[in-house]
Copies of this chain bind each other. A is one copy, B any other.
Amino acid sequence: MNHFSITDIEGLDKIFRLNLINSCTGYKSANLIGTKSKAGISNVAVFSSVTHFGSNPAILGFVLRPATVPRNTYANILETGYYTINHIFEDIISDAHHTSAKYSEEVSEFNQTSLIEEYKPNFKTPFVFNSPVQIGMRFLEEMPIQINGTILILGEVIDLFVREDLLQKDGFIDLTKGKTATINGLDAYAIPSTEARFDYQRPKTK
């Protein structure tokens, strides 16, 4: 196997290190986060760090680097207190990835791609039209990560929309039916097509 010690990692070329460390966690969630500024400019950006933090209350987190692309996302969330999380699916992968380009805050990525804003009753922040799972989020808190200046954003699910053919009787959302994407590293997208479910596990008895 290839071995990279911490000293090796520190000495790597920057792009090599970015690819390596971003790939080493395994597959990541692929979501578009939608926001809107107080001035009315909407924003949508790809994030691969949306993570489950709890089901009751339903809390999701994601990581952002305030000094880079998604600062519009960050500013809008702090301004309004709301954002949306939308699954990236097969048909929009290319447009979704393009939202990683560094547009200025006056530009809506909805106008630079074929992604379409969708508005729902009682929610002023845009969802991504046709996304098989759309989540309306209320901002809860930000947790600064001192060691590298990233920020963990925590929010609560307040409106969850799931396309009907994905939802199973026990609450499980079958992501293969929505052709939901998963991200490998910084720039690779896969669409898993089959999966196996397992039972609840109990210790083996002798």
- A-side interface residues toward B, CB under 8 Å? 1-6, 9-10, 12-31, 48-61, 63, 85, 87-88, 93-94, 97-103, 107, 112, 133-135, 140-141, 143, 145, 147-148, 150, 152, 154, 156-164, 167-168, 170-176, 180-182, 184-185, 187-204
Contact = CB atoms under 8 A, between A and B. Distances in A.
B150 A53 contact: yes
A107 B19 CA distance: 37
B158 A5 contact: yes
A35 to B, nearest CB: 18
A57 B198 contact: no
Contacts of A21: 52, 54-56, 58, 157
Nearest to A86: B26
Contacts of A14: 56
Nearest to A178: B26
Interface of A is mostly: mixed
Given A30-B26, A102-B203, A164-B2, A170 B19 contact: yes
Given A53-B145, A173-B20, A202-B101, A157 B112 contact: no
- Chain B CB within 10 Å — which of A102, A176, A203 has the most? A203
11 contacts: A1-B164, A13-B171, A16-B171, A19-B168, A20-B160, A20-B172, A25-B51, A27-B28, A54-B147, A173-B184, A184-B195
A25 B60 contact: yes
A172 B23 contact: yes
Contacts of A148: 53-54, 57, 59
B172 A6 contact: no
A14 B12 CA distance: 47
B187 A197 contact: yes
Nearest to A49: B51
Contact of A173 (B23, B161, B172): B23
